[in-house]
């Protein structure tokens, strides 16, 4: 599977490495025409306001909405989760607004700006290693959204059909199982296209 990583800002190289380790082909995507032939795309962590602004500037809002409408999967990690959400607390507008959920940015407060933990993820056998850095939380989910993981009772991972989102950075450890999970989503989507 050819998996793109949106390369406008943020943790791009680490995702490409993890995709390769998980057996996929990782490709940095800087222009919308590079989406042709891509089976799934990751929107990485970074700074969601900056990523959103650059996405508007380079035509990625419309292009990625069309990509998702074709049934191709999108995985938003950390800032990428914020980019996927329909609603962002305290902000007028979202970015892609594809997932029926509300998110809060920088939701862990100063004491817990960054930490690593082991998370139980639905559908994955052993706990997954997760690195949280100025992470967002999903404060509510609407119809069609399945919660895949919680941390101390708060939602940190969810899926809505071909859309996957997590609060943490799955690309910063040598645990590649979330990339394997996403590659499987891309394979399943390709099989019905």
Burial letters 92-130, b for 16+ CB under 10 A, else e: eebbbebbbbbbbbebbeeeeeeeeeebebeebeeebbb
Closest distance of CB 65 from ligand GLN, Å: 20
Using CB under 6 A as the binding rule, whether residue 172 contacts ligand GLN is answered as no
Residue 105 assigned as binding residue: yes
Query: CB of residue 13 vs ligand GLN: minimum separation in angstroms?
Result: 15
Footprint of ligand GLN on 96-135 (CB under 6 A)? 105-106, 133-134
Annotate each residue in 33-62 with x if it binds ligand GLN (CB under 6 A) or - if it does not, as one string.
------------xxxx--------------
> Does the annotation list 193 as a binding residue?
no
Q: Is residue 112 part of an annotated ligand binding site?
A: no
Give whole-number Cα distances, 49 to 30, 52, 132, 191, in Å: 17, 5, 18, 35
Question: What is the DSSP annotation of 3-66?
Answer: EEEE-SSSSHHHHHHHHHHTTSEEEEE-SGGGGTT-SEEEE-SS-HHHHHHHHHHTTHHHHHHH
DSSP 181: H
Considering the complex, state which of residue 156 and residue 189 has its C-beta at the smaller distance from ligand GLN.
Answer: 156
Of the pair 39, 169, the CB lying nearest ligand GLN is at 169
State yes or no: residue 178 binds ligand GLN (CB under 6 A).
Answer: no
Q: Tell me which residue of 13, 4, 49, 53 sits closest to 169, measured CA to CA.
A: 13
CB of 113 to ligand GLN, least distance (A): 9
| Contact stretch for ligand GLN (CB under 6 A) within 25-33, 77-85, 151-159, 183-191 | 77-85
Task: Assess 167 for contact with ligand GLN (CB under 6 A).
Answer: no
Binding site as annotated, residues for L-glutamine: 46-48, 105, 133-134
């Amino acid at each position: 599977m050819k998996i793109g990583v949106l390369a406008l800002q943020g943790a791009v190289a680490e995702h490409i490495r993890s995709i390769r380790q998980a057996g996929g082909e990782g490709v940095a995507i800087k222009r919308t025409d590079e989406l042709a032939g891509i089976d799934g795309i990751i929107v990485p962590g970074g700074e969601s306001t900056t990523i959103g602004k650059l996405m508007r500037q380079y035509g990625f809002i419309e292009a990625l909405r069309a990509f998702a409408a074709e049934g191709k999967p999108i995985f938003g990690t950390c800032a990428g989760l914020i980019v996927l959400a329909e609603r962002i607390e305290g902000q007028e507008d979202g970015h892609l607004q594809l997932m029926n959920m509300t998110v809060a940015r920088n939701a862990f407060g100063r004491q817990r700006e960054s930490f690593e933990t082991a998370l139980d993820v639905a559908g994955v056998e052993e706990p997954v290693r997760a690195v949280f850095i100025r992470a967002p939380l999903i404060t509510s989910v609407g119809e069609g959204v399945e919660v895949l993981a919680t941390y101390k009772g708060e939602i940190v991972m969810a899926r809505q059909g071909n859309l996957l989102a997590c609060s943490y950075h799955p690309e910063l450890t040598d645990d590649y199982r979330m990339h394997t999970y996403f590659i499987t989503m891309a394979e399943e989507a390709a099989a019905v296209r």
